[in-house]
Amino acid sequence: MTQTSGAETPTQPTTEAGTLTQPTTQAEAETPTQPTLEAETPTQAAAPRKTPRIHRAWYVAAVAFVTILGAAAFRSMPGLLIEPLHDDFNWSRGTIGLAVSVNLALYGLTAPFAAALMDRFGIRRVVAVALTMIALGSGLTVWMANSLQLILYWGVLVGLGSGSMALAFAATVTNRWFTTRRGLVTGILTAAGASGQLIFLPLIAWMVEDGTWKPASVTVSLTALAVVPFVWLLLRDHPADVGIAPYGSEEFVPKPPPAQGAARRAVTVLFSAARTGPFWLLAGTFAICGASTNGLIQTHFIPAAHDHHMPVQAAASLLAVIGIFDILGTIFSGWLTDRYDSRRLLAVYYALRGVSLLFLPILLAESVHPPMIFFIVFYGLDWVATVPPTIALCREHYGDDSAIVFGWVLASHQVGAALVAFLGGVARDAFGTYNPVWYASGALCAAAALMAVVIRKRGTEPASAH
| Domain contains 49 | no
Residue 69 vs residues 106, 170, 236, 272, 367: alpha-carbon distances, Å: 19, 12, 18, 33, 30
Given a cut of 80, is residue 391 above it in pLDDT?
yes
243 burial type by CB count under 10 A (0-12 exposed, 13-18 middle, 19+ buried): middle
Provide Rg for the chain, Cα atoms.
27
Average pLDDT over residues 104-132: 84
| Domain contains 39 | no
pLDDT band at 448 (very low <50, low <70, confident <90, very high): very high
How far is 45 from 146, CA to CA, in rounded Å? 51
CA dihedral 452, 455, 458, 460 (to 10 degrees): -170
Weakest mean pLDDT among 282-296, 404-418, 433-447: 404-418
Range of the structural domain that residue 208 is part of: 56-248+259-453
Residue 245 vs residues 241, 242, 318, 395, 463: alpha-carbon distances, Å: 10, 9, 43, 20, 23
Q: Model confidence over 241-279: pLDDT tens digits?
A: 888 888 887 777 787 777 667 678 888 999 999 999 999
Handedness of CA 221, 222, 225, 226 (dihedral sign): negative
Q: Where are the beta strands (DSSP E) in 197-298?
A: none
| Domain contains 344 | yes
Taking a C-beta distance cutoff of 8 angstroms, is the pair 190, 198 a contact?
A: no
pLDDT given at position 131: 92
| Domain contains 40 | no
| Domain contains 405 | yes
3-state secondary structure of 187: helix
Adjacent-strand bridge partners of 247: 178
3-state secondary structure of 365: coil
Given a cut of 50, is residue 10 above it in pLDDT?
no
Please tell me what DSSP assigns to residue 177.
Answer: H
Tell me what percent of the residues of the chain surpass a pLDDT of 90. Answer: 26
How far is 466 from 446, CA to CA, in rounded Å? 33
| Domain contains 22 | no
CATH number of the domain where residue 348 is located: 1.20.1250.20
| Domain contains 69 | yes
Q: Model confidence over 58-101: pLDDT tens digits?
A: 888 888 888 888 877 777 677 778 888 888 888 887 888 888 88
Taking a C-beta distance cutoff of 8 angstroms, is the pair 113, 263 a contact?
A: yes
Q: How many domains does the chain have?
A: 1
Q: What pTM, to 2 d.p., does this model score?
A: 0.66
